[in-house]
């Protein structure tokens, strides 16, 4: 995803002189193509994310479109006051880009586990929140947030995320992408969990359960129509995210379902428990520990939703 992002940013900057990049003394081997191509539009603010955000806000208020870039917790939580007061208050054209969202930097411990960033960023006024599911979505999301004025948060994986989509996909902010068709259950994934979600859906299909998979790349604004359609047309919904279960995609979907006066559907949030993280290890190790591997997702779905769906299908068949 990082490579797709910087490639798209360089192409955009080539035709739009407003685009600038400010980093917090990291991203080497990723951001160099931009810095070498546009040295006058590249700033290394050092290990000072508050300054990085303030600089970006000031540049944006002078007519620039400014991207900030750092490991997920640092351009969000470390400088939250500056994001709120300098960027959001002024509706500044600052695009906050984080790398390693979720457990991408799992081996570095809790300080680098980004498990609350979506919750915090979606709570901020006028902030668009985007977590692309594969490199194709990452490139399209980069282009989309440049076209959208005002603050945006772009949450990327660390590296090596597989492509889910082919070369052509329709991408619009606030509009989910239906990756798989199915009428039994809807799996709504965001960010780096899209690949595992698709794999889980394929495994479910082998057992006769057809899962609709939605890539909810935009958490704010959320595609409420897609959520309500899933509640009407399928027998259960699960959200899947590499983020805490409080405040992220699961909470956003739950809010839509709770405010619907007509629709009631079995619903489950699959993510990281809301607790101080004491586990350290690779992303794969932590996904296994938090039941976010393909097997973990299937176990959670079978134990929570599948029995209800099987009962509903059985009753419908008996009634027929």
226: domain CATH number is 3.40.50.920
- State the distance between the two ends of the chain, measured CA to CA, in whole angstroms: 48
Q: Average pLDDT of 177-188?
A: 95
Does residue 245 sit in the same domain as residue 310? yes
Residue 181 domain flag: yes
> Is there a single domain that holds both residue 66 and residue 115?
yes
Give yes or no for residue 315 having a pLDDT over 50: no
Q: Classify residue 237: in a domain, yes or no.
A: yes
CA atoms of 46 and 49, how far apart (whole Å): 8
Do 292 and 187 fall into the same domain?
yes
> Does residue 165 sit within a domain?
no
Last residue of a domain, one of 122, 155, 188: 155
Write out pLDDT tens, residues 269-286: 999 998 888 899 999 999
Whether residues 92 and 199 share a domain: the answer is no
Q: What CATH number is given to the structural domain containing 96? A: 3.40.50.970
- In this prediction, residues 260-264 reach a mean pLDDT of 85
Those residues whose C-beta lies under 8 Å from the C-beta of residue 83, and which sit 6 or more positions away, are 53, 75, 76, 96, 121, 124, 151
Domain count, the chain: 2
> What pLDDT shows up at residue 158?
87
Contact 239, 188 (CB under 8 A): yes
Looking at the fold, whether 137 and 275 belong to one and the same domain comes out as: no
Decide which of 96, 125, 155 is a domain's last residue.
155
Residues 113 and 243 in one domain: no
Same domain, 79 and 146: yes
- Rounded CA separation 5/145 (Å): 12
For residues 127 and 187, state if they share a domain: no
Q: Which of 159, 119, 114, 122 has the alpha carbon at shortest distance from 138? A: 159
Q: What is the pLDDT of residues 141-182, one digit of tens each?
A: 999 999 999 999 999 998 788 999 987 799 999 999 999 999
Are residues 8 and 150 located together in one domain of the fold? yes
Residue 293 located in a structural domain: yes
Comparing 7-11, 44-48, 312-316, the range with the smallest average pLDDT is 312-316
Task: Give the confidence band of 320 by pLDDT, cuts at 50, 70, 90.
Answer: very low
- Is residue 211 situated within a structural domain? yes
User: Is 25 domain-assigned?
Assistant: yes
Least confident range of 22-31, 45-54, 156-165, 225-234: 22-31
Tell me whether residue 258 is in a domain: yes
Give the chain's radius of gyration (CA, Å). 20
Inter-residue contact 165 to 136 (CB < 8 Å): yes
Residues 143 and 225 in one domain: no
**Whether 144 and 198 share a structural domain:** no
Q: Are residues 128 and 183 in the same domain?
A: no
- The residue out of 155, 188, 218 marking a domain boundary is 155
Instruction: Find out whether 212 and 182 touch, Cβ atoms under 8 Å.
Output: yes
At residue 319, does pLDDT exceed 60?
Answer: no
Q: Are 44 and 23 in contact (CB under 8 A)?
A: yes
Domain that holds residue 136: 2-155
Q: Is residue 167 part of a domain?
A: no
């Amino acid at each position: 995803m990082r490579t797709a992002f910087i490639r798209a940013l360089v192409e955009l900057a080539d035709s739009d002189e407003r685009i600038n990049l400010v980093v917090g003394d990291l991203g080497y081997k990723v951001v160099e193509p931009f810095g070498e191509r546009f040295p006058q539009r590249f700033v290394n603010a050092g290990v000072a994310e508050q300054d990085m955000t303030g600089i970006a806000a000031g540049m944006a208020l002078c007519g620039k479109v400014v991207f900030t870039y750092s490991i997920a917790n640092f351009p969000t939580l470390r400088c939250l006051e500056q994001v709120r007061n300098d960027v959001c208050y002024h509706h500044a054209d600052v695009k906050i880009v984080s790398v390693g969202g979720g457990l991408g930097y799992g081996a570095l411990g809790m300080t680098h586990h980004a498990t609350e960033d979506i919750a915090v960023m979606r709570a901020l006024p006028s902030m668009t929140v985007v977590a692309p599911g594969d490199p194709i979505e990452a490139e399209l999301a980069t282009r989309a947030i440049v076209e959208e004025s005002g603050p945006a948060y772009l949450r990327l994986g660390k590296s090596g995320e597989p492509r889910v989509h082919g070369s052509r996909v329709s991408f619009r902010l606030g509009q989910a992408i239906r990756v798989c068709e199915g009428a039994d259950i809807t799996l709504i994934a965001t960010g780096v969990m899209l690949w595992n979600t698709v794999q889980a859906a394929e495994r479910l299909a082998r057992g006769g359960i057809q899962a609709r998979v939605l890539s909810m790349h935009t958490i704010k604004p959320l595609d409420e129509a897609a959520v309500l359609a899933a509640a009407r047309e399928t027998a259960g919904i699960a959200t899947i995210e590499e983020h805490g279960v409080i405040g992220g995609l699961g909470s956003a979907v739950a809010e839509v379902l709770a405010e619907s006066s007509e629709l009631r559907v079995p619903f489950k949030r699959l993510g990281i428990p809301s607790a101080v993280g004491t586990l350290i290890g690779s992303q794969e190790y932590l996904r296994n520990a938090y039941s976010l591997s393909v097997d973990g997702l299937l176990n959670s779905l079978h134990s929570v939703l599948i029995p209800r769906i099987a009962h509903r299908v059985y009753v419908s068949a008996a009634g027929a």
